[in-house]
Structure 1
Amino acid sequence: MKTIYNSIRDEIIKHSKVRNSVLGNVNEWKRSHYIILSEIIKDELSEAEELKGGKKFEIGNTISHVTLQRFFENDYQDKTHSDLRFLKTLDKICIFLGYKDLNDYILTVRYRKENDEGTDDQSYLTQMVYDYCAAVFEFYKQFPTHNTELLKGLVFDDSPFLERASQFSKELCDKDFHLITKNNRSNYEVFDIHVVTDEPDKKILESQEFWNLLFKVGETGEEHFVNQLSTQIYFIRKINDTWKIWDNYNPDAGMLNRKIETI
């Protein structure tokens, strides 16, 4: 995430609206310059298509000069830059830069890097994690239908991971959970995927994932929120010349199920 953080700062400085303002002639920004930057961003966000509708009320369309100054002057730290408010700020900055959101920016940077450096031998592994997360989100969208077939192209049928995931999700489907996606109310972001272990028949990948989900129970309309930023570990194996996910370590696995049990 630190690489993305620094990249976003560089793109703000290079933005045409910033370069063509008084900020483009200043090497070291002070408080007054961040006030100007805040106004520039506010003007752009007020016209942004991505913030027309519900998302404007979800993340807002302004960024204070204090937040911007802190963003530029402080080094990235996991503890202070992983909360929901900061991620929403990054969403707004990325929209200002011309992207749909932070996730779109991350994907664009990743594709640029792949094009610049050529095809990476391990790119299929990181793509597997991206594809798995996309499949999981689609899986949730079909609740209360319990369609684990969506996952089986990426996860081994007899794996402990699929067994656990199936059990947790089946409990939610049986309780008539529905995922709310209107106005981008539920979303996720995946970033900082890297290979930890690289062996001929086994790969271990680590990723940072943010899941922001809203579920409603069918008859009662009772709402249940998932708002988690966590480090996840994927254990990928090669069996019969096929690479798939065998297991996963997610510190928040089953959290919603346990929360429901205590209500």
Structure 2
Amino acid sequence: MKLIIEQLKKGIQTHPSVLNSTLSSVKTWKRAQYLILAEIIAHKLSKSEHLQGVKKNELGTTISSTTLQRIFTNDYSNKENTDLRFLKTLDKLAIFIGFPSLNSFILNQSCENNAAIAEEHRTKDVLSSYFENLIYQFCQDEFNCLLKLPQVDLSGLSDSIFEDGPLTKRVTDLLEKYSKLDLQLNNENNRSNFEIYDFRITSIDDTLVVISAKEFWNLEWRNHQGEIVNVYNKINRQTYFIKKRGDSWRIWDNYNPDYNNLNTEVSQDMMKKMEV
């Protein structure tokens, strides 16, 4: 009931008869303002098409200023919430803002709330799909960078990450370390590949989105003689921090729990191969 009352109060405060009165210029209503509000409501109810005949005799066309003040200041008891007289008062308030009855008002609010929830879900689904595609694009661009090694070229990453972000520096450092090993990624017959799945939105607001996803990376490294030096297989859950600047959303940072092992494992396997 409290939610319904709050919605009725909002409807009254935004009603044209109230907005076009002296009440609109007063921030904090006191007794004098509730007297004016009572007069506005009584005048409107007396002419309402929804309050005629038997219903008009049953409900009446007035609400006391004291009752209005108690409603707007939340000074009403739990007993009053179910009291028949109190329900009749709410019925008249619903009629004042243009509804046939309190039940009609409640039904309308329920429909609006459901529509708002549905729209929120649709918006979230669209945003989720957009951010999932952004993360996938980054991984694809990063994979393409690996394919260019030993040349270090980050030109393909510019549309998915911020140039001045920590992720850009981390990817650059990783590629430079790989470049020093002078290895190449074997992509024949799709021998090297990646998969992303199980996206989860951790938090979302107007300027920052945090999303985690499971990633599987299968990377087969070979030297210039065509010998396989290392096969890197790893599944983990990574977290992406996506920021908004202006109208652009891009990845600012990424947490990969196995980041420090990416280059180390390849280097160690290469050293073992050379010892043999």
Pick the TM interval, shorter chain. 0.5 to 0.7
Cross-structure match for 1:208 = 214
Aligned length in residues: 147
The answer on whether the counterparts of 1:126 and 1:193 sit within 8 Å (CA) in structure 2 is yes
1:174 positional shift: 2.3
Secondary structure of residue in 2 paired with 1:122: helix
Instruction: Determine whether 1:192 maps to 2:191.
Output: no
Tell me the SS of whatever aligns to 1:223. Answer: strand
SS at the partner of 1:157?
Answer: coil
Question: Deviation of residue 208 (structure 1)?
Answer: 0.6
Aligned-residue sequence identity (percent) comes to 29
1:132 offset after TM fit, Å? 1.1
Report which of the two has the higher share of helix.
2
Q: Name the residue aligned to 1:146.
A: 152
Rounded Cα–Cα distance in structure 2 between residues aligned with 1:260 and 1:186:
14
**Structure 1 letter corresponding to 2:166:** P
Where in structure 1 are there 5+ consecutive unaligned residues? 1-116
Q: 1:136 to 1:242 in 2, by over 3 A?
A: same
Correspondence 1:134 to 2:140: yes
1:196-254 C-alpha deviation (Å, 9 max, x unpaired): 11011000011011001101122584511210000000000012331100000001113
Unaligned runs of 5+ in 2: 1-121, 272-276
Query: Is the contact made by 2:162 and 2:251 (CA closer than 8 Å) also made in structure 1?
Result: yes
Bigger mean CA deviation after superposition, 127-136 or 213-222: 213-222
- AA aligned to 1:164 is R
- The one of 221, 224, 227 equivalent to 2:233 is 227
TM-score in terms of structure 2 length: 0.50
How far apart, CA to CA, are the structure 2 residues paired with 1:121 and 1:261?
A: 40
CA distance in 2, matches of 1:218, 1:171: 17
Match of 1:166 among 150, 161, 172: 172
**How much does 1:173 deviate?**
1.3
Please give the root-mean-square deviation of Cα atoms over the aligned residues, in Å: 2.0
Verify the 8 A CA contact 2:149 2:184 in the aligned structure 1: yes
Secondary structure, counterpart of 1:120 in structure 2? helix
Query: In the aligned structure 1, how far is the partner of 2:252 from the partner of 2:183?
Result: 27
TM-score, normalized by length of structure 1?
A: 0.52
Over alpha carbons, which structure has the higher Rg? 2
**1:71-82 pair list within 5 angstroms:** none
Kept in 1: contact 2:242–2:250 (CA 8 A): yes
Supply the AA of the counterpart residue of 1:252. D
Contact 1:168 1:254 in 2 (8 A): no
Shift of 1:192: 0.8
Give the Cα–Cα distance (whole angstroms) in 2 for the partners of residues 259 and 155 of structure 1: 26
